[in-house]
Each structure stands twice: as C-alpha cells, then as structure tokens.
C-alpha cells in the first residue's frame, strides 16, 4: 500500500483545537462543510491550499494533543488528506484516526520540508522524499492497521470480517 503527495508542514504540539476549532463543534455537523475550516486559526485558507487526495500533513511531536474531539481526524480525512506523518501522536487522536481510516505514521520529520513530495510505502515502512532524494524508515504497520486503512475504518472492517452490521 503506497500513498504519495505534497507536504504541508506543521510544528510540534498541534492540538485538536488547531485542527478544527471548538467553536464549530455543535454548529456544523456536516463533515464536508466542517472540513472547510481545517487549521483556519493557525493557517488561514489552508483548505484552499490542499490538493485533494494528493496531500500529506507532516508535523513534529505530539500531533493531535488536547481534547478527544473525533471531528479532528474526520476533518483531515474529509478534506482529502490521506496521511499524517509526525514524530509522535497524542494517544486518543491516534486511536480515533485509525478507527475512521486515517493513516498515521510516526517517523523523524526533521528532513521533510513544506512542499516536498513524498512517496510512502506503508507495508515496507519507507518514506521516500522525492524532492530531496532522501529516504526515512519507520516501523511498518501490522496487518490489522493495514486492514483498517484499506477498509476505511473500524466499522467497515468489522462489517467485512466479523459479520457485524450497524443498524
């Protein structure tokens, strides 16, 4: 499983309020509308910068810290971003992201810059920075993580493999 795209770089300690402001928590429930406000408090007009399905967020340590707001990973995925690469993730954000099928990778991000083009092999645990001709290793995902992403989240996975139906 390989993903690739243009890098949008953020720093350390990006919290869920930076990803999607709490002021929208109850006022906008449609994810296709909510995602238009992604990162607007720290990077105005970020939604317009994204090239749908060809964008990768790269960040420093502790990405997704703060509240357990599930809207944070949802808006990232809904905005067309397939993958987030960071030095580390907040535990609840990490779990919420995989549950909805948003790919997260923990790796050293120091050699990755804004607008670089990455190719990421999720099975082999390799990030190829095509812009700088640099390769970075990360711990490859286990079979369950690959299946969650392939099936677009835990609900689809359960429906497919466990004959579990949501009614």
Q: What is the pTM of this model?
A: 0.90
- Going along 77-162, which residue ranges are E strands? 81-86, 103-106, 117-121, 126-129, 134-137
Closest CA to 42 of 64, 20, 71: 20
Please write the tens of the pLDDT for every residue from 36-87: 999 999 999 999 998 765 899 999 999 999 887 788 999 999 999 989 999 9
Q: Is the pLDDT of residue 11 over 90?
A: yes
In this structure, what are the phi and psi dihedrals at residue 54, rounded to the nearest 5 degrees?
A: -130, 30
Residue 144 confidence (pLDDT): 85
The CATH number fitting domain 2-161, selected from 1.10.3720.10, 1.20.210.10, 3.40.50.10860, 3.20.19.10: 3.20.19.10
Do residues 136 and 108 lie in contact, with contact meaning Cβ atoms separated by under 8 Å? yes
Which letter does DSSP use for residue 139 in this model? Answer: P
Do residues 20 and 41 lie in contact, with contact meaning Cβ atoms separated by under 8 Å? no
Q: Is the pLDDT of residue 8 over 80?
A: yes
What average pLDDT does range 126-137 have in this prediction? 97
Please write the tens of the pLDDT for every residue from 133-165: 999 999 988 888 888 888 877 877 788 876 655
Kindly compute the dihedral angle of the four CA atoms of residues 74, 156, 152, 89, in this order, to the nearest 10 degrees: 60
Q: Distance between CA atoms of 94 and 64, rounded to whole angstroms?
A: 8
């Amino acid at each position: 499983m390989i993903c690739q795209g243009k890098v949008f770089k953020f720093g350390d300690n990006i919290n869920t309020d930076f990803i999607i402001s709490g002021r929208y928590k109850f006022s906008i429930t449609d994810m296709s509308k909510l995602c238009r406000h992604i990162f607007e408090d720290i990077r105005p007009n970020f939604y317009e910068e994204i090239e749908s399905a060809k964008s990768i967020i790269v960040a420093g340590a502790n990405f997704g810290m703060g509240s357990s707001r599930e809207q944070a990973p949802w808006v990232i995925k809904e905005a067309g971003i397939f993958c987030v690469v960071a030095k580390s993730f907040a535990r609840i954000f990490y779990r919420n992201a995989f549950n909805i099928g948003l790919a997260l990778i923990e790796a050293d991000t120091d050699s990755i810059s804004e607008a670089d083009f990455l190719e990421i092999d999720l099975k082999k645990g390799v990030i190829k920075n095509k812009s700088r001709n640099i390769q970075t290793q990360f711990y490859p995902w286990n079979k369950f993580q690959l299946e969650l992403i392939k099936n677009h989240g835990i609900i689809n996975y359960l429906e497919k493999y466990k004959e579990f139906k949501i009614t």
